[in-house]
Structure 1
Amino acid sequence: MESKTMVREDGKRNFALRESGGDESSVFSGNTPRQAALKAARRLEPGSSESDAERVELRLREKGTSKVHIYEGWAWEETAPDDKPNWMPDEITEANVSKEGIEHLEE
């Protein structure tokens, strides 16, 4: 008997990013819905600063459930810190999210 929530062996849960038509083409993993939402937000088109960044609704359905976590996400370019590792580019994309609520899909 499977549990309702699909938790991987490493404790992470999988969240599918839902497009407006209901497509779920991308999956992000995280210990929490917010962690997965931050990963999704980093893929957004970054603004020149946090205040200029466009706010986008992110709808993440937890795999194995009908629960959709709704976030507002935004991303922006920032100069990497001086003590950055060599592999890190000079400009990095930062992101943030704010939780808007939870919806339950009708099965």
Structure 2
Amino acid sequence: MVREDGKRNFVLREEDGTETSVFSGSMPRQAALKAARRLDPAGSEDDAKSDAVEIRLREKGTDKVHIFDAWAWNSSAPEDKPGWMEGKITKGNVSKKGIEHLDE
């Protein structure tokens, strides 16, 4: 369901069908990128991509489940970072595999 601000809510589904975290975004990929940043990060992007994890995001209010391969890695913070930011940040990326429809 689309909110007034144009964003949609997506729920992270585990393999057993339980739903845990909620991520919002105007597109499914935007929510998937937020979910990817919560994965255990690898040392570099190349290492992380080889260890991609499948994540499933169900769009709230629908039976659509968006399936992505996701990976995360540690990177150096930018030079113009704010004072509160640490020296390392976690970056993430995703690759869409497809959409499934629930039969529930």
1:84 pairs with 67, 81, 86, which one? 81
For 1:103 and 1:86, how far apart are their aligned partners in 2?
Answer: 43
Matching residue within 69, 74, 90 for 2:71: 74
**Alignment pair present for 1:43 and 2:38:** yes
Q: 1:96 corresponds to which residue? A: 93
Alpha-carbon displacement from aligned partner over 1:2-45 (angstroms, at most 9, x marks no partner):
xxxx1111111000100000000111100100000000000000
Question: Which of 8, 13, 16 is the matching residue for 1:18?
Answer: 13
Which runs of 5 or more residues in structure 1 are unaligned?
Answer: 1-5
RMSD: 0.7
- Where structure 2 has 5 or more consecutive residues not aligned to the other structure, the ranges are none
- Figure out how many residues of one structure are paired with residues of the other and give that number: 102
CA distance in 2, matches of 1:87, 1:34: 28
3-state SS of paired residue (2:32): helix
* Structure 2 equivalent of residue 3 of structure 1: none
Distance of 1:77 and 1:100 partners within structure 2: 24
2:57 is aligned with 1:60: yes
1:56-102 CA-to-partner distances (Å, cap 9, x unmatched) read 00100000000000000000000011111212211000000000000
Q: When you count helix as a share of all residues, which structure comes out higher?
A: 2
What is the TM-score of this pair, normalised by structure 2? Answer: 0.95
Inter-partner Cα distance in structure 2 for 1:82 and 1:25: 35
Residue identity (%): 71
Tell me which of 25, 34, 41 is aligned to 2:29: 34
TM score, norm. by length of structure 1: 0.92
Bigger fraction of residues in strand = 2
